Structure 1
C-alpha cells in the first residue's frame, strides 16, 4: 500500500497541468477532484477508471481479482471498437467468495487464474486489477504478478487501482502509471521511423478513429500506438520510439504524456478531432511537431493540400444542412474535451449554443469555451434534472446532446435528443464524422414525431369526449369511446 500511496501523491502533483502549478504544496496534495462523500464513487471509482483506460487494449486478457460483481459492473463500459482481436470482450475474474477471504486463498486463486487464462487463450499479456476487497485483505498483487510472469513466460501487469483510493479520473491516471512502469519501453521495434506518432486518450468510440487514421496514412504518418483505442499490447510496448504525440483527453492521461516526453523526448500537444477546424489544426500540429523532431519539412505542404481537399468536400456536404439548422439552439450536457470541441464544431455551421456543461472539464477546457462563446454565461457545472426539464419544456433549446442518463428528461419534455457520449452508435470524429454529426442532428430535429407528440390529444380539445371517458366504468366502454375517435387530431375539433 505504501507504493500505491506514493503513486497517488505523484499523480496529484502533476506539473504538466497549468492549474496545478499555480497551487501551493498543500493544495497540490489534495488533487483536483472534489471531496467525496464516504461510500460514494462520484460517477465511478478508481477501479472503474483504470478499466476504462486499459480494456480497449484488444489482445490482452483483463483479469479482475475480486468478487464477481466488480467485473460485471465494468465490463464493456465504453462503446469502443476493435479491428481484430476480441479477447478484450471476454470477462475474466477470480470470483472471490467469503470462504476464500476467510481461508486466505486470494493470492493462490489469482495465481491459478493467471495460469488458466494463459493456457486457454495464450494472450501476449494479462492485466490484473485488484478491487477494494483484495486490497483491504492485503493480497500482494505485484508479487503474484511477478512470480506468474517468471513461471509462465508472459507479461503479467498489476494495475494497482482499487476502487476506494479515489475517483474515476484518478483511476485513469493510475492506469497510465501502470503502462509506464510495466509496458511502455519493454519492446524495441525494428521499424521505427521519423513519421511515427502516438495518440493518447483516444478510445475509438463507435470506430470513429478509423475516420481519422486514413488521413494520417495519406500523409505517410504512422500511428505507432493509439492508447487505448483499438490498441495492441506490442504496439504500446514499443510506443517509446514515437517522435511526437497528440493528447485527446487531458484529464485522463496527461501524466502519461508528460512522463513519455521526459523519458523519451516525445513532445505532445492537446487537440481534438471533432469539427472541421479542430481536425485541420490537429493535422497541422502533428506535422509541425514531426518536423521539429527531424522529419522532412515537405510534409507541411502535403498536409495543407490534404486539409484543403478534405475541407472542400466536407463544406460542400454541410451546405445542404445549413439552411435547415442555422439558428437552431443546442443544449450540450457532456464534459471533458467534448465540452469545447463539439461546441466549436456546431458553431461552424451556424448552430447556436444555449448551454454547455463543464462538469468533467479541466480549467483549460473552460478557458477554451470562454474564448469560443466569448463569455461564460452559457457554462454550467451541473444542472439538476428539474432545471433541465424546465429549460427543455419551455423550448429554450431545439435539441439536447448528452449521454444516455438524461435522454428520458428530453423525451418527457418532448424535445429531440441525440447521444453524444460513449454509448453513441455513430462516429463523429474527423471531416466525415462532422458531416455525420450534423446529419444526425438534422434527422433528430426534423423528425415528424415531435410535431405529433406535441399536439394535444383529441379529448383535451373536446370536453364531451373527456367527460365520456371519465364517466365510463369498465374497459369495454372506454375502448368503444377511444375507437370512436381513433384517427382524429386536434385539428378536427378546432383549437383547445
Structure 2
C-alpha cells in the first residue's frame, strides 16, 4: 500500500469519531461517502474540501496544479473573511494544457510557477494542490515541493487531495493531515503562555469569529490559532504550543484535534458559539480546560462575571423580538453543528422547530438534537425538494433557514427564507450574533412583500377585469398607431 493510500485509510479509521467506531471493518474502509444517486449532484470533491479548509489561511499563496477549470470552479467558495492579508484572494494555477500533459511538462511548469510566486509576492509559504488530472498522470508533487522549498528558502506544502479520492469531507480531513505533516510544530513561539488556545473548524464566515474573539480577549485568553478562520501561516506553525482547543466543526477536522492532543497534549472539546446558552457554555469549558492545564483558577470567576453581563445585555435586546416571534415555526434545512446549535438558539426565544436536517451531522449532533427537542420526530436525514415545497406551501413553517441551493423552493412556495450557510451576509455567532440572527428572522417573516405575493392576481379575482382585457388591448393597439403617425406631414403620407 502506498503512503498516500495509507493516509486515506488512516482518515477512514478515525478513532475519535463515534459514528466511525460503530461501523464494522468493511463499512469503515468505505469511509463516510454515500453512493451517488444517478442524476443527482455529487457535491464537492476531496480537492474542494481541502481548499475550503486551507484557503482562509490568508497570507499563503494557494497554487492549484491543474487545468484552469479546477481553480475556476472552486475559487472563493466560502464567505470567510480576513482582517489583514489579501493574498488568499489571488488565484494561482499552473493552467496545464493538453500539450503539457502529453509532453510531460507538468512538474517543470509547477516548479516555474512556484518560483514566479516567490519572486512576485514573497509569501511566507506556498500551498500546492494537485487535482484529478495531475494525480492521474503521476506528477510527483511532494518531490517538486521539497526541491522548491530547498531552492527558494520558504515552506512549499503539498496538499495531496485530488478530487477522485473521495468526498469533500474527506478533503477536509486530508487538509488537516497536510497541516500536521508540514506546518504545525515547525516554528517555536517565544511568547507561549498559560492562556493560549486553538479554535479548530471555525471558518470566520461573514466575520463571525470577530464577534467571539473580543470576549476571549476580555478574559485574557489568547487565540494562538483559529484554524482556518482569519489565520496566518506563522500562527498555524506555532499552534502546537496552545494549552487547550475548542472544536467547532468536528466533521471537518476531528482528526486534527485528536492528533494534536496525542502529540502535544492539547485537550479539546466540541462546542458551539451559536446561541446564548451555547456561547456561555463554550466560554466555561475553555476556562475549565485551561485551569486543568495549569492556569490560575481565578479565570473561572471572571468568566462567570463576563457571562452574566453579556447574557443580561443580549436578553434585554431579544425581549423586543419575543412577542413578534414566539410561536413562529422554523424549518431548518442545514447540517453539521448548525443542526443542533441553531435549534437550541432559536428555542431559547420561543420559536418552534418543525424540522431540522441531520444530513451532515455526527452521532453526537443527533443526540444533542434529541435532548433539545425531546424526540427525534422532527429530524430528517434528507428531504426531497418536492417534500420541502409541499411542507412550505401548506404553511407548516413560517420561515425556512437553509443554504442557497434550496432558497428557490421557499420562494416558489411564497415562504420567507434566510441563508444560514456559508454564503450568508450576516454573522450569527456569539451573543451579538444571536441578536442579529433573531433580527434577520423577524425582518424576513414580517416583510410586507409576503402578504402581497400571496394575494391572488387582479385578473384571477376580478372577472370584470378579465372580460375587459380584449377591449383594452384593442385600444392600446389603436393608441400605438395614432402615436406612430402623430406629427407627420402630407408629404410623409405621400411617400408612404
TM-score normalised over the length of structure 1: 0.95
How far did residue 490 of structure 1 move?
49
How far did residue 493 of structure 1 move?
46
Once residues 389 and 491 of structure 1 are traced to their aligned partners in structure 2, the CA distance between those partners, rounded to angstroms, is: 63
Q: Is the 8 A contact 1:329 1:353 kept in 2?
A: yes
Correspondence for 1:84? 84
How far did residue 478 of structure 1 move?
11
Deviations 1:409-440 (A, max 9, x none): 11111111111000000000000000000000
Q: Is the 8 A contact 1:131 1:162 kept in 2?
A: yes
Q: CA distance change for structure 1 residues 488 and 392 in 2, over 3 Å: closer, same or farther?
A: farther
- Report SS of the residue matched to 2:62: strand
Q: CA distance change for structure 1 residues 363 and 494 in 2, over 3 Å: closer, same or farther?
A: farther
Structural mapping, 1:95-494, within 5 Å: 95-469=95-469, 476=476
Once residues 65 and 76 of structure 2 are traced to their aligned partners in structure 1, the CA distance between those partners, rounded to angstroms, is: 17
How far did residue 467 of structure 1 move?
2.8
Q: Is the 8 A contact 1:458 1:489 kept in 2?
A: no
Q: Is the 8 A contact 1:469 1:481 kept in 2?
A: no
Q: Is the 8 A contact 1:272 1:278 kept in 2?
A: yes
Q: Is the 8 A contact 1:468 1:481 kept in 2?
A: no
- Report SS of the residue matched to 1:115: helix
Q: CA distance change for structure 1 residues 369 and 62 in 2, over 3 Å: closer, same or farther?
A: same
How far did residue 468 of structure 1 move?
3.0
TM-score normalised over the length of structure 2: 0.95
Deviations 1:462-482 (A, max 9, x none): 112123336776793599999
Cα RMSD over matched residues? 6.8
- Report SS of the residue matched to 1:74: coil
Once residues 174 and 429 of structure 1 are traced to their aligned partners in structure 2, the CA distance between those partners, rounded to angstroms, is: 27
Once residues 117 and 347 of structure 1 are traced to their aligned partners in structure 2, the CA distance between those partners, rounded to angstroms, is: 50
Moved more, 221-230 or 400-409: 400-409
- Report SS of the residue matched to 1:128: strand
Moved more, 65-74 or 24-33: 24-33
Moved more, 22-31 or 41-50: 22-31
Q: Is the 8 A contact 1:458 1:493 kept in 2?
A: no
Once residues 453 and 158 of structure 1 are traced to their aligned partners in structure 2, the CA distance between those partners, rounded to angstroms, is: 53
Q: CA distance change for structure 1 residues 244 and 486 in 2, over 3 Å: closer, same or farther?
A: farther
Deviations 1:323-345 (A, max 9, x none): 00000000011111001000000
- Report SS of the residue matched to 1:377: coil
Q: CA distance change for structure 1 residues 366 and 106 in 2, over 3 Å: closer, same or farther?
A: same
Q: CA distance change for structure 1 residues 495 and 464 in 2, over 3 Å: closer, same or farther?
A: farther
Once residues 283 and 212 of structure 1 are traced to their aligned partners in structure 2, the CA distance between those partners, rounded to angstroms, is: 10
Structure 1 unaligned spans of 5+: none
Q: Is the 8 A contact 1:469 1:478 kept in 2?
A: no
Once residues 184 and 447 of structure 1 are traced to their aligned partners in structure 2, the CA distance between those partners, rounded to angstroms, is: 48
Q: CA distance change for structure 1 residues 172 and 487 in 2, over 3 Å: closer, same or farther?
A: farther
How far did residue 408 of structure 1 move?
1.2
Once residues 138 and 214 of structure 2 are traced to their aligned partners in structure 1, the CA distance between those partners, rounded to angstroms, is: 47
Deviations 1:307-337 (A, max 9, x none): 0000000000000000000000000111110
Q: Is the 8 A contact 1:68 1:95 kept in 2?
A: yes
Q: CA distance change for structure 1 residues 457 and 242 in 2, over 3 Å: closer, same or farther?
A: same
How far did residue 485 of structure 1 move?
28
Q: CA distance change for structure 1 residues 22 and 491 in 2, over 3 Å: closer, same or farther?
A: farther
Q: CA distance change for structure 1 residues 6 and 448 in 2, over 3 Å: closer, same or farther?
A: same
Once residues 416 and 137 of structure 2 are traced to their aligned partners in structure 1, the CA distance between those partners, rounded to angstroms, is: 49
Moved more, 76-85 or 406-415: 406-415
Once residues 285 and 445 of structure 1 are traced to their aligned partners in structure 2, the CA distance between those partners, rounded to angstroms, is: 35
Structure 2 unaligned spans of 5+: none
Once residues 442 and 490 of structure 1 are traced to their aligned partners in structure 2, the CA distance between those partners, rounded to angstroms, is: 65
Moved more, 246-255 or 459-468: 459-468
Once residues 470 and 148 of structure 1 are traced to their aligned partners in structure 2, the CA distance between those partners, rounded to angstroms, is: 76
Does 1:46 find its partner at 2:46? yes
How far did residue 362 of structure 1 move?
1.1
Q: Is the 8 A contact 1:461 1:495 kept in 2?
A: no
- Report SS of the residue matched to 1:138: coil
Once residues 322 and 486 of structure 1 are traced to their aligned partners in structure 2, the CA distance between those partners, rounded to angstroms, is: 62
Q: CA distance change for structure 1 residues 471 and 130 in 2, over 3 Å: closer, same or farther?
A: farther
Moved more, 13-22 or 89-98: 13-22
Q: Greater CA radius of gyration, 1 or 2?
A: 2
How far did residue 226 of structure 1 move?
0.2
Q: CA distance change for structure 1 residues 378 and 121 in 2, over 3 Å: closer, same or farther?
A: same
Q: Is the 8 A contact 1:462 1:493 kept in 2?
A: no
Q: Is the 8 A contact 1:403 1:419 kept in 2?
A: yes
Aligned residues: 496
Q: Is the 8 A contact 1:457 1:489 kept in 2?
A: no
